Amino acid sequence: MRMQQVSSSMVNAVGYDKKNQTLCVDFNGGKTYEYYDVPIEVYEGLADAGSVGRYLNSEVKGKYSYSEV
């Protein structure tokens, strides 16, 4: 999965697998999580957000199943 660097105090990079609708988030603390069944529009919004952390908290966390990778 290709990762895109983002400017955030919380997140280092994000990536998206269109085929599986999987969002990958690499946090600055060293942990990486995959979120499942995420529409591409949510990924695009995250990648373009003025505040990546705020968008992640409001639009992704608690809405999609996930696992640490």
Please write the tens of the pLDDT for every residue from 36-63: 999 999 999 999 999 999 999 999 999 9
pLDDT of residue 65: 98
The closest of 34, 35, 31, 59 to 45, measured between CA atoms, is 59
**Domain ranges, ordered by start, for the chain:** 3-68
12 Cα distance to chain centroid:
10
Give the pairing type, strands 32-35 and 22-27: antiparallel
**Which residue's entry shows tokens 């946090």?**
27
